[in-house]
Amino acid sequence: MSNDVRTNWAGNLTYSAGAVARPGTPEELADLVGGSDRIKALGSRHSFCDVADTTGTHVLLDVYDDGRPAVVVDAATGVASLRAGLLYGQAGTALLERGRALRTMASLPHISLAGAIATATHGSGDANGCLASDVVGLEIVTADGEARTLRRGDADFPGAVVGLGALGVVTRVEMATDPAFEVSQDVVVDLPWEALLTDLEAVTGAAYSVSAFTLWDEDAVSQVWLKSRVAGSSDGQAGDATGERRRPARDVLLDLGARDAPGPMHPLAGEDPAASTVQGGVPGPAHERLPHFRAEHKPSTGAELQSEYLVPREHAAEAIEAMRELGPKVAPLLFASEIRTVAGDDLWLSPFDGATLALHFTWKPDDDAVRAVLHDLEAALLPWGARPHWGKIFVAKPAELAAMYPRFDDFAALAQRLDPRGKFRGGYLTEILPA
């Protein structure tokens, strides 16, 4: 994993920025933004494409202090105000100290709040929306250097949350939280493909969060990770966000033909499972179980590429079958592929405008070969309504993305109004947004 802020997390992209700035106060940030021709916030650098790039100055918020505690929880509503530069793992730890928990998390706790929200990054679970869906407020410094606050109910709010960094520098996010709850995690192996295809709802609904791993050319789904809310923590219900009691998730999958994992697992074959979050049904705080990787360990392999496509749930079977046909082509290039589900939301640039199947690909670091196979993959998936993840690698032309979002013209108008000179546009945003 690269520690050089001139490159992204995986080291496959060198940024175009001519300078890096770390403002320490709101006044410094306002002067920096207002006086810049080209500028862009940079988070934990976990995007694999140039969505966060700029030819001007990259702004890092790792030393930014607005004079308020990094985490503030409203006792009456449970809404948490969080510094945007915090990592999700840091936010989870701080919230637990205050008796609260994030409702969902991505597979990595090492990603920044603002960056993950801006690109509609997500975890898994039939009832769990993407990370941005729990945002109820944003504080953002726009092109004129002025700080603005947008909250749910404001006309611009649903356009600003998944904002791709195109509207300004987000300094704080307000998020709905739950009372602190615990999660237990079980892993099963060798789930028959037939069970996944014919009983998809049973598989993905077995636990609060479910992730299935495959290389697509295998005789069975190699691993399924099941994360269940523990009875007696928070709402007192196990396995479900709705309050309905469910059978233990592991039992559901065993009845469908899976087997218990032989021991702790890592999503990537051959990698040390010590980096993975605790398995074997041992309860722990939500932020220590909902991700796949522990905050204190280096996530995944570092030298890798990633793609992801978000498919409307009604076309899940067709998308899975299409990927199985591509198995011989994609398997030699894969470290792992993950199947997840995500609930819908009302955010303009969120790909989750309804129940969604997410197909994630962690590729070996062979850019030319990966991009070549992505042409086949997109030819198979895009006709079923698939949308690429904003921060991953895809081969669809940036201008094609706009047609995938009914409210994109509204977003473009919002970007033009808040940033008429386009100072926050860089990377492929210079193509997708009008000048």
**pLDDT tens digits for range 33-54:** 999 999 999 999 999 999 999 9
Catalogue the E-assigned strands of 219-274. Answer: 220-229, 259-260
Cβ density class 27-41: b for 16+ within 10 Å, e for less: eebbebbeebebbbb
Instruction: Output the pTM of the full model.
Output: 0.95
**pLDDT tens digits for range 3-27:** 678 999 899 999 999 999 999 999 9
Look at residue 238 in the predicted model and tell me its pLDDT: 47
Look at residue 234 in the predicted model and tell me its pLDDT: 59
Look at residue 393 in the predicted model and tell me its pLDDT: 98
The mean pLDDT of the chain is 94
Tell me: pLDDT of 182 over 70.
yes
The structure tokens listed for 357 are 């199947």
What the chain holds in terms of domains, given with CATH numbers, is: 182-388 (3.30.70.2520)
Q: Are strands 57-59 and 71-73 parallel, antiparallel or unpaired?
A: unpaired
Tell me: pLDDT of 302 over 70.
no
Between the CA of residue 71 and those of 43, 68, 104, 296, 412, what are the distances in Å? 18, 8, 17, 21, 32
Q: Is 240 exposed, middle or buried (0-12, 13-18, 19+ CB in 10 A)?
A: buried
Beta partners for 14?
A: 7
Phi, psi dihedrals of residue 323, rounded to the nearest 5°: -70, -35
**pLDDT tens digits for range 137-161:** 999 999 999 999 999 999 999 999 9
Tell me: pLDDT of 415 over 80.
yes
Beta partners for 39?
A: 57
Tell me: pLDDT of 398 over 60.
yes
Tell me: pLDDT of 327 over 80.
yes
